[in-house]
Amino acid sequence: MKLLLIGSVLLLAGPAVLAQSIMLTGQVVDGLQRPVPYASVGVKGSQQGTATNEAGEFSLRVSALPQQLEVLSIGYAPTTVQVSSASAPLTVVLPANAVALPEVRVRNPEQEARELIQRASAKLLRHEKQTYYGKAFYRQKTRHNDTYCEFFDAFYDVKFNNRQIEGWDLGESRYAVRPGGFTFTNFSAIIRVVLPTFITQSKRAKLLTPLGPQALQQFNFTLKEIQTSEGRELAVVHFEPKMNVTKTAPSGLLYIDRQTAALHRREMLFSASSLLSLNGVPGTQIESDAFRVVSDYAPVGDSLTRLASTRAQCSLVMRQPDGKLDSTHVASNFFFYQYTPRLAGHAYADVPRKSKDLQQVMARPYKATFWLDNAVVKDSPLEEQLIRDLEGQHVFRRM
């Protein structure tokens, strides 16, 4: 069965590093031993680093031991650990950031939340035509009834602004599929469905966003807490759609610098039913679904931020015509590993509403040596056993 997603999404992390001789592995958890997905893990004082995967796991190559690893994630206090041995996986516990309840720090939490949304929206609107360029990596994994059935990697050269991706050129990519389960015909659609950081007009939008000129009319906002870290105060603002909103709209959290109104993180949760279309088996119904998206934004310029990464997880339970239930879980991670000037010789082709991703990917030969030696792949969240299994079954393929 083909699973089609109508719309757009986006996903990202940190800078690439060269492969090294010692592999460190481990997991990052919070104080309750829950995994911390997509936390930054790096060698302190250097640009060498990686990010945890959706299960909080990480792999990082270093040149020698001992090393100091610095672990960062919004909502948690920065943590440094001394590593002297690679003989066993590490467990890094991130303590929660110091938090002040809004009623202690502000007179009117709801009013401050609305004012922050207005300031953040105005900042984004003022700079919406400021163009950035970068190199991005995208990985998408689909698991059907607890068995991985589809795997996709791709490199892009990207042109973007603080509202959306304007264009990209597809570089090296690979695709693997196993028989059975659901497959995607258009990978970048799952990027673009929640891509816009803010929207100026909601008539054409498939998914409303909690930032923009109409945000206060479409969403309710509440200041939940204020997180303090390294002298910075991040206001954590909860949002949910108002009762009269008829379009698909998420609920979630925004992390906004209280002083500059710069956006640092957006977490969204919504039902994907209105954005999904099934093709292949008549009578198939979506029994339940949940779509969770987290986007992080990196500082740039004076009190501005730009998109750094977006991660999406979509869980679907489908009821087949015979009454049988099937579960599908899709995990996607898109990140800029390098910001660049505009690169000569690149078209940065417009991202079409309905692109032909699978046809583009399968039109190129699979270069196994490129993926074996690529530094970005080695230092992104690793799926070594899964990739070895797919290689062994010769399911990385093209038409």
pLDDT of residue 289: 85
pLDDT of residue 15: 39
Over residues 247-282, the pLDDT tens digits come to 889 999 999 999 999 999 999 998 877 666 665 556
Q: For residue 213, which phi and psi values (nearest 5 degrees)?
A: -60, -25
pLDDT of residue 257: 93
pLDDT of residue 240: 96
pLDDT of residue 200: 63
pLDDT of residue 4: 41
> Which neighbouring-strand residues pair with 27?
57, 91
> Which neighbouring-strand residues pair with 290?
315
Which of helix, strand or coil describes residue 382? coil
pLDDT of residue 18: 40
Using a pLDDT cut of 70, give the percent of the chain over it: 79
pLDDT tier for residue 13 given thresholds of 50, 70 and 90: very low
The lowest-confidence range among 51-55, 56-60, 236-240, 385-389 is 385-389
Task: Reply yes or no on whether the pLDDT at 2 is more than 70.
Answer: no
Do 136 and 156 touch, CB atoms closer than 8 A? yes
Out of 2.60.40.1120, 3.30.1330.50, 3.90.226.10, 3.40.50.970, which CATH number does the structure's domain 22-97 have?
2.60.40.1120
Which tokens is 95 given? 């303590």
Q: What's the whole-number mean pLDDT along residues 145-151?
A: 85
Task: Reply yes or no on whether the pLDDT at 178 is more than 50.
Answer: yes
pLDDT tier for residue 397 given thresholds of 50, 70 and 90: low
Helices of type H across the chain: 102-105, 109-126, 187-192, 215-218, 357-362, 368-373, 375-378, 384-392
pLDDT tier for residue 157 given thresholds of 50, 70 and 90: very high
Do 94 and 36 touch, CB atoms closer than 8 A? yes
Burial class (CB in 10 A: 0-12, 13-18, 19+), 147: exposed
Report the relative pairing of strands 22-30 and 57-62 from DSSP bridges.
Answer: antiparallel
Q: Distance between CA 198 and CA 211 in Å, rounded?
A: 5
The three-point CA angle 74-294-126 to 5° equals 85
> Which neighbouring-strand residues pair with 174?
153
Can you give the residue ranges of every domain in the chain? 2-11+99-392, 22-97
Q: Distance between CA 209 and CA 376 in Å, rounded?
A: 31
Task: Reply yes or no on whether the pLDDT at 12 is more than 50.
Answer: no
Strands (E), 230-303: 232-241, 251-257, 263-270, 276-279, 285-300
pLDDT of residue 101: 67
Using a pLDDT cut of 90, give the percent of the chain over it: 27
0.85 exceeded by pTM: no
Report the relative pairing of strands 22-30 and 90-94 from DSSP bridges.
Answer: parallel
> Which neighbouring-strand residues pair with 153?
139, 174
Over residues 302-357, the pLDDT tens digits come to 688 999 888 888 888 888 888 888 888 888 888 898 999 999 988 898 765 556 67
Over residues 46-86, the pLDDT tens digits come to 877 888 887 888 888 888 999 999 999 988 988 999 999 99
pLDDT of residue 29: 95
Q: Distance between CA 99 and CA 226 in Å, rounded?
A: 6
Which of helix, strand or coil describes residue 47? coil
Q: Distance between CA 149 and CA 137 in Å, rounded?
A: 21
What are the C-alpha distances in Å from 203 to residues 140, 222, 362? 29, 25, 35
Burial class (CB in 10 A: 0-12, 13-18, 19+), 23: middle
Question: For the chain, how big is the Rg over CA atoms in Å?
Answer: 21
pLDDT of residue 105: 62
Q: What's the whole-number mean pLDDT along residues 167-182?
A: 82
Strands laid side by side in the 251-257 sheet: 98-100, 219-229, 232-241, 251-257, 263-270, 285-300, 304-319, 325-340, 132-144, 147-160, 165-177
| Mean pLDDT of all residues belonging to the chain | 81
Task: Reply yes or no on whether the pLDDT at 42 is more than 70.
Answer: yes
Do 371 and 380 touch, CB atoms closer than 8 A? no
pLDDT of residue 272: 73
Q: Distance between CA 324 and CA 319 in Å, rounded?
A: 6
Q: Distance between CA 153 and CA 350 in Å, rounded?
A: 20
Task: Reply yes or no on whether the pLDDT at 219 is more than 80.
Answer: yes
The lowest-confidence range among 64-73, 181-190, 207-216, 303-312 is 181-190
CB within 8 Å of 197: residues ≥ 6 apart: 124, 162, 163, 164, 209, 211, 263, 266, 295, 297, 307
Q: Distance between CA 305 and CA 328 in Å, rounded?
A: 34
Residue 247 C-alpha from the chain's centroid: 23
pLDDT of residue 20: 42
Q: For residue 225, which phi and psi values (nearest 5 degrees)?
A: -165, 170
The lowest-confidence range among 89-103, 172-186, 188-202, 382-396 is 188-202
DSSP string, 149-170: EEEEEEEEEEEE-SS-EEEEEE
